[in-house]
Structure 1
Amino acid sequence: MVEQRSEHLDNVFRALADPTRREMVRLLADRECTVTELAAPFQMSLAAASKHIKSLERAGLLQRRVHGRTHFCRLNPKSLADAHEWLRFYERFWSERLDALEHELRKSETDRTGGDK
C-alpha cells in the first residue's frame, strides 16, 4: 500500500515537474478543455500536447472523455489533494522551525538590549 502511494506521488510530481503540464493543470482548474484548447497557448502540435496529456493522465491529474473525434480533458483534483497532503507535512515542519528561530532571535534581541524595547 505504501509503495503504491509512493509510486502515485512520484507520478504526480514527475508530471508537475514540467512547466507546460503545470500550465495545463492551471487551465483545467478553470474549466474542461479540449486537447486543441490545451495545446493552443503553447503553439505545439496536437501530438506533442497529447504526450503531455498522457503524462497527466498517468499521474491521475486529469480525466479524458471522447465525444466523436473530440477529446475533452478535465482536472481530477484528488491527485492534487494527495500531493498537497504530502506537502503539508513539510509546511508544518518549516513553520515550526521558523517559529522557533523567530523566538530565539527575539530572545537574543531582548537579551542584547537588556529588555528595553
Structure 2
Amino acid sequence: MAANTRGFFTDFPDFKPNPDAPVSDEFNRLASQRKWKTGSKTWRKMWNRCMALEYDRLLGQNLSGLQSWQQLCEELDLTGPFTSITQCKKALSKVYVNIVDLLDRKTGSANIKRF
C-alpha cells in the first residue's frame, strides 16, 4: 500500500507555503488568509486534517527502514547505537513529545519539547 505523499497545502492552489517554515506557522497563515476563526469548527477540522496529512507526508511514510527509525531517534536526542527497528521502538516508547513540535522540526523549527 502506497503512503500518502500529498500534503495538506496542495488543496489550496492560491496559497504558496514556505517549505522552510514550521507547519503550524503555515497553517496559521493559511487560516488567516481564509478567515478561519481560531477554535471554530472549520478551523479545528482543517487543523486536524493538516496535522494528519503533514504527519503522513513528513514522517509516516518514512518509517519503513532502520535508517529512518535511527534518524527519528537522533532527532529526539536519544543515545544509541540502535542496530534494529525493535531497539529504536523500545527507546522511543519511553519518550513523549508533542507531535506538532516534531512536524515543525521537520520543516524548520529547532525545538522539540520532551515530556
TM range (shorter): 0.3 to 0.5
Max radius of gyration: which structure? 1
TM-score, scaled relative to structure 2? 0.33
TM-score, scaled relative to structure 1? 0.33
Query: Greater helix share, 1 or 2?
Result: 1
The structure whose RCO (Cα within 8 Å, separation 6+) is larger is: 2
Query: Greater strand share, 1 or 2?
Result: 1
